[in-house]
A and B are shown apart, each in its own frame.
Chain A
Amino acid sequence: MFTRRNALALGLAVPGLAGLAACGPNASGGSGGGGGEGSAATLRLAWWGNPTRDENTQNVVEAYKEVDDAVTINPEPGEWSGYWDKLATQTAGGDFPDIVQMDEKYLAEYGGRGALLDLAGAGLNTEDFVPGSVEVGELPDVGLAAINAGLNSFAFLLNPVVFEEAGVDIPDDTTWTWDDLIDTAVAISENTEDGTFGMTQMGTQQGLFQVYVRQAGQDQYKDGAAGFDIETATGWYEWTKKIQDSGAGPDASIAVEDAAKAIDQSLFATGKAAITVAWSNQVVAHDGLVPEGVVVLRPPSMTGSAADAQLWYKASMYWAVSAKTADPEAAVAFVDYLVNSPDAGAILSVERGVPGNLTVREAIVPDLDEANKKAVDFLESIESELGDAPEITPQGGGQFEDILTRAGEEMLFGTLTPAEAGQRVLDDLTAALG
């Protein structure tokens, strides 16, 4: 029967089991075969996405059979939040897929714990990449932990129809400041019917917060800790509060509702807000939702000069290879095909973001539709104004957006002052980064 000693032994054995599984030799799990020179390999390819991306990626997998028919690739698509739950569980069980789509938020979590292969060391060719687009996948102890699958930058999106209704001109994005933005939005709120706003509440947008702190000469992270100080955080929340108090944006309640909604249901998509913010790979989604399409602008600057906007190219997502894949050569060869082959580029298009590889980009840009061209044009227009590449989100930083949102919401509902909210963010982030 089951004695206490047995129970104790089991209890100790299982975490050991977990450890073993994570380090075990059969780490790439069900991938079966693989291994030796020239033999047939089976690789598991995991990504998150949507029906379009799923189809594109399946097509690329099909096309790869022409390139190397000895390799079988098993696609494992998923949806954003479920994808990460599954990936973490698989990692614990020693079943990390051979090739995974990776996000900047979690790159250090996985890479820093030895789950990812150094792609540069494995011979991935990155010659054709735009300067600055490869470095964003580098981790100190790993090397090139992941390769950019598409470039992104933070952008302002305007609905020209609402501007026209309000009789307000579209601002000049090379000279506008944070205060100009609010003034423009106030003018729109005042000249449209009740319930239509100049801008959405952007105080909970991590991307914009990053733009703001960079313009203050700081950054989100520095040496694995918070890279901004209390003054900057307070300044951010004061600006956020001004959106609400001046009537430029909606009140707390509507703002919170708006933030919880999918893009299609948002104030901006339904014509109830004239200005919103998004990463540039979301331009296409927004463009299809408003009648005359969106106008893409640079974020404002503190000095009134776009040269000081301190923008950067973020990887909209990455490709990474398991450090324990049974066949690193085959896996890296497939990643090489994904990012360096114009054929693959033609199938994938800019759905994952604008390719960092210039050869691929040149091959596909002429065939892009209007909406996708807007995103590409925007990225190219800011190329000469870029600031330094930011530090990669350290372990524990994945929850920063939640932290920023929580403090922001409490401030908007009036339970915290901007200074208290700034302090809260700094404290919570420091605790999260441990």
Chain B
Amino acid sequence: MSAVGELTQIVSGRKKGGAKEKHRDNKAGLIFMAPWLVGLLAITLIPMIASFALAFTDYSLLAPPEFVGLANIREMISDTRLHNSLVVTFIYVFVGTPLQLVAALLLAVVLNAGIKGLAFYRSIFYLPSLLGGSVAIAILWRQMFGANGLINQVGGMLGFENLPGWVSNPDTALSTIILLHVWTFGSPMIIFLAGLRQIPEMYYEAASVDGATKLAKFFRITLPLLTPIIFFNVVLQVINAFQSFTQAFVVSGGTGGPSDSTMFYTLYLYQKGFTQFDMGYASAMAWLLLIIVAIFTAINFFVSKFWVFYDD
């Protein structure tokens, strides 16, 4: 039974297997897990617990924290900018992530299918991800999607008149950032490619002997064997998208504007913590985010047992 499998069972409330069999490798486990345990106790856990404790304080960073009970949480309930940032983030996660993953998977499969110049295309498609959150990209993006930018010039040639300034219009600014997100699909694509490469050749050979078509091989072999990797990408990309910060930060110059239309949750959290000196509130926000992300991750794990296929 694997970790992921068991976690799924915990979530779904099923358990099987005796306790003895379950704890067969306690000693080896401790040895292999040692670096992680030390890291957890010394580096990761203390800041997490501290941030949880700080959620109940008024902490300016510049002076010691003061306990304020549930004041931060009460404030969050009535903070309309926070509610707006949740809406913005949800749109981003539920539109951007599926689009990005589908693009990544499609291109990974195409690039894996023996097209000439594979290495070349793979490199090209990965380039945007290397540039990712750089200042240069932010400048170019604002220029391309500006009122007189490249996109509108092309649109004008195609006969579209009076196109808006995409980045500066509150109705369209978020979509340009989603587009930027989709466009940097290189990372999940690489993970898909690595996953595709790990599928044993023998399965395809056996299927060829049976006379299976290409499409049948894709649906009967490639897709099922790739599901652990697809699952990984879905889980991690959802977690990452909820915490998306850099792209909105660079494209909007850190403001989340125009009119908060690109004010992502973590961007607002960052502003609260660092520019408004309210780290207590930021910590409370962080734990709300953790709860939201944890719920979605748990759902992902629960649903995974219906579609993820493990060879073990």
Contact = CB atoms under 8 A, between A and B. Distances in A.
B233 interface: no
Interface stretch (A46-54, A83-91, A117-125, A377-385): A83-91
A254 B165 contact: yes
Contacts of A114: 63
A315 B183 CA distance: 44
B62 A253 contact: no
Nearest to A401: B255
Contact of A11 (B50, B254, B255, B260): B50
A3 interface: no
B147 A254 contact: yes
A113 B63 contact: yes
A261 interface: yes
A11 B52 contact: yes
Contacts of A85: 274
Interface residues of A, number: 46
Given A15-B53, A257-B146, A405-B255, A23 B64 contact: yes
Contacts of A257: 142, 146-147, 165, 167-168
Interface string B138-169: 01001000111000000000000000110111
B257 A256 contact: yes
Given A10-B46, A81-B254, A399 B275 contact: yes
A260 interface: yes
A87 to B, nearest CB: 9
Given A109-B62, A253-B168, A11 B277 contact: no
B89 interface: no
Contacts, number: 116
B61 interface: yes
A402 B268 CA distance: 12
A33 B276 CA distance: 34
B230 interface: no
Contact of B274 (A12, A88, A413): A88
B276 A14 contact: no
Contacts of A71: none
Which secondary structure characterizes the binding site on chain B?
A: loop
Contact of A92 (B52, B61, B169): B61
A202 to B, nearest CB: 17
Contacts of A253: 147, 164-165, 168-169
B39 interface: no
A79 to B, nearest CB: 10
B49 interface: yes
Interface in B238-285: 252-255, 257-260, 271, 274-277, 279
A267 to B, nearest CB: 11
Interface in B30-77: 41, 45-47, 49-50, 52-54, 57, 59-65
B228 interface: no
Nearest to A9: B49
Contacts of A10: 45-46, 49-50
B259 A15 contact: no
B49 A256 contact: no
A22 interface: yes
A14 B168 contact: no
A110 interface: yes
Contact of B53 (A14, A81, A406, A410): A14
Interface in A83-136: 84-85, 88-89, 91-92, 109-110, 113-115
B59 A409 contact: no
A110 B53 contact: no
Contacts of B61: 88-89, 91-92
B170 interface: yes
A2 B49 CA distance: 12
A294 to B, nearest CB: 24
A365 interface: no
Contacts of A395: 277
A409 B259 contact: yes
Nearest to A19: B64
A195 B148 contact: yes
B260 A406 contact: yes
A415 interface: yes
A399 B276 contact: yes
A324 to B, nearest CB: 12
Nearest to A258: B168
Given A110-B62, A260-B168, A14 B46 contact: yes
Q: Which of A11, A15, A413 has the most CB of B within 10 A?
A: A15
Contacts of B147: 253-254, 257
Contacts of B277: 88, 109, 395-396, 398
Contact of A256 (B168, B254, B274): B168
A297 interface: no
A84 B275 contact: yes
Contacts of A2: 41, 45
The 9 closest A-B CB pairs, nearest first, are: A19-B64, A14-B50, A256-B168, A253-B165, A11-B53, A257-B168, A113-B62, A11-B49, A113-B63
17 contacts: A2-B41, A2-B45, A10-B46, A15-B59, A15-B64, A17-B50, A88-B62, A88-B274, A89-B61, A109-B62, A110-B62, A256-B168, A257-B146, A399-B275, A413-B258, A415-B259, A432-B276
